[in-house]
Structure 1
Amino acid sequence: MTSAAASLRALLASEAIVAAPGIYDHMSLLLAEAAGHRALYASGYWGTASALGEADVGIAGMSDFASIFGRFAARAKVPVIADADTGFGSLTNLRRTVQHYCRAGIAAMQIEDQPFPKICGHVGRATAVPTAEMVKRMQVAVEARGDDELLIIGRTDARRSEGLEAAIERLAAYGEAGADILFLEAPESEEEIAVAASALDKPLMINAAHGGATPVRSPSRYAELGVKLAIYPAGAPLSALKGAANFYAMLACDEANPDPQTMFDFKEISRLLGMDEIVAFQDRHGGA
């Protein structure tokens, strides 16, 4: 059976661009798959928010990430790309993180060049460790994966603190150290994205985070700019939160029946969860 990582490698090799929508729980995973997406992205920001109700400032640890994202990978039929923050501490911690992600069947993991603990790159004033320190992280990650096909994503948060040229130089060094994909966080224009893509000899990844610093564009537009992997982590949770907030506000005003057009069909989510098959099984065997 082809591994998730091998499937993602094949997608990257065959497609102009891979667009991975963000998932933050199992229902969002099922909906994204049902829409036909061939890769999914599990964000530390939204995973931490959904599972713990906490901000993306390094509160969640390796065990939290490996547990949450490992369950996503086990349930998904398509490759899951997962956040791994900075590797959660020392190089020994990073090695253990890579090994856990490999065992969990995650297709690709992103490792950041922020100091530990990190902060969301679109919210706080993210800084970066010295280039040599991040190069060592990349080398350790490549060594730790061994023969596994897991893709290593090297991310820099240096754009906002050091400028575009320095960020591109960092990414080039991370690629030389073994990163398979280079993640430029928080570029501020289409021109910056195109400059980075043309300067780098490994696939460029962009974070199309609604509400963030980077202009959100369609996958086809990103492909024209030279992007190979685009993640859209915030669109689904922000849309779901708006719907939930509207319902809670309505109920607080003694109303309980929103417009059906604003609600997902209950029967359809039950089908996606496998309820139809379970009921048929129970009927065949005459009991629960």
Structure 2
Amino acid sequence: MSGTELRAKMAGDQIIAAPGIYDHMSLLMANEVGFDAHYASGYWGTASAMGEPDVGIAGYSDFIRIFGAFAAKSKAPVIADADTGFGGIANLAHAVKGYQKAGIAAIQIEDQGFPKICGHVGQAVSVDAEEMIARMKVAVEARGEGDILIIARSDARRTEGLDATIDRLDKYAENGADILFLEAPQSLEEIEQAASRLNKPVLVNAAHGGFTPVLPPTDYQKLGVKFVIYPAGAPLAAAQAARNFYAGLKAGDANGEGAGNFDFGEMSRLLGIDDVVALQKRHDRA
């Protein structure tokens, strides 16, 4: 899915709510339900694929392998994290081109320094605004005539306050950002104020367990938000379900403390087993 489809959805009146996808099974589940976009988080992509924290350990080759594979199977446009661009401006340009070639609809670039850290653990520090403006200019140049959308994320709320962060996002918009990501606002009033003052679509991160109030999409829409991502809800639920099963099995309950199980036959279907069986039958290899 390309940025063209996501741009068309942006032109509509409704908010775009994108659930987090963190592995291929979560992607298949999201595909089945049906959303306007899917969000591939660096935090959860790194956690799922590597078992490591979101502190810049994963690099471009890791992200493009994971997120490019998501884009190939996704039924909705994929918004994908690119941290700070994976290095200098040459690395950033390479990332924009690579994400675009992989069919990713929107690339998220943040204004932290290196090593970055998850914006909801209370440690993020932003670089000078001019450095992020340079990142925006490089990203626009690298996109060329392509259609990938550029998301500028600011983590400055914690250290510089809301007004300074809005000023930063406004500058990022002036230098090419298509979508403005206000990370970790701490109240509905802050979200509404930012959305009213910025002249580009605003994205909010509804991270379960983070600093920002988690609301239904329509509630964010009333505040003037155009995009809301829910990166943590599904992986946290899946982790708890897995822990329930493991704890139950250890205690002698093969059904995992009464936790419900997704239907195995349905999972096999989502993974494409019916197509494989049909192929084998067509070629007498069943």
Shorter-chain TM range is over 0.9
- Residue in structure 1 matched with residue 131 of structure 2 by the alignment: 133
1:144-223 correspondence to structure 2 within 5 Å? 144-223=142-221
Residues 40 and 80 of structure 1 are in contact (CA less than 8 Å); yes or no, is this contact kept in structure 2? yes
1:117 Cα offset (Å): 1.3
Match for 1:49 among 44, 47, 50? 47
Question: What whole-Å deviation, never above 9, does each CA across 1:226-272 have from its counterpart, x for those lacking one?
Answer: 00010000000000000000101111112212477611111111111
1:1-288 correspondence to structure 2 within 5 Å? 3-258=1-256, 262-288=260-286
Give secondary structure in 1 for the equivalent of 2:11.
Answer: helix
C-alpha distance in 2 between matches for 1:162 and 1:257: 50
C-alpha distance in 1 between matches for 2:113 and 2:174: 21
Give secondary structure in 2 for the equivalent of 1:262.
Answer: coil
1:15 Cα offset (Å): 3.7
C-alpha distance in 1 between matches for 2:7 and 2:258: 41
Gaps of 5+ in 1: none
C-alpha distance in 2 between matches for 1:275 and 1:127: 47
In the alignment, residue 218 of structure 1 is paired with which amino acid?
P
Gaps of 5+ in 2: none
Give secondary structure in 1 for the equivalent of 2:112.
Answer: coil
Give the alignment's TM-score, normalised by structure 2.
0.98
Residues 187 and 214 of structure 1 are in contact (CA less than 8 Å); yes or no, is this contact kept in structure 2? yes
Question: What whole-Å deviation, never above 9, does each CA across 1:110-136 have from its counterpart, x for those lacking one?
Answer: 100000110000014111101111001
Give the alignment's TM-score, normalised by structure 1.
0.97
Structure 1 residue runs of 4 or more that deviate by more than 6 Å after TM superposition: none
Residues 249 and 256 of structure 2 are in contact (CA less than 8 Å); yes or no, is this contact kept in structure 1? no
C-alpha distance in 2 between matches for 1:268 and 1:191: 43
Residues 88 and 117 of structure 1 are in contact (CA less than 8 Å); yes or no, is this contact kept in structure 2? no
Question: What whole-Å deviation, never above 9, does each CA across 1:36-58 have from its counterpart, x for those lacking one?
Answer: 11210000000000000000000
In the alignment, residue 209 of structure 1 is paired with which amino acid?
A
C-alpha distance in 2 between matches for 1:280 and 1:16: 40
C-alpha distance in 2 between matches for 1:9 and 1:139: 20
C-alpha distance in 1 between matches for 2:274 and 2:90: 46
Q: How many residues align?
A: 286
In the alignment, residue 150 of structure 1 is paired with which amino acid?
I
C-alpha distance in 1 between matches for 2:53 and 2:217: 28
C-alpha distance in 1 between matches for 2:245 and 2:13: 40
Percent same amino acid at aligned positions? 63
C-alpha distance in 2 between matches for 1:96 and 1:279: 40
Question: What whole-Å deviation, never above 9, does each CA across 1:58-88 have from its counterpart, x for those lacking one?
Answer: 0001111111101111111210000000001
Residues 125 and 161 of structure 1 are in contact (CA less than 8 Å); yes or no, is this contact kept in structure 2? no
C-alpha distance in 2 between matches for 1:15 and 1:269: 34
Give secondary structure in 2 for the equivalent of 1:209.
Answer: coil
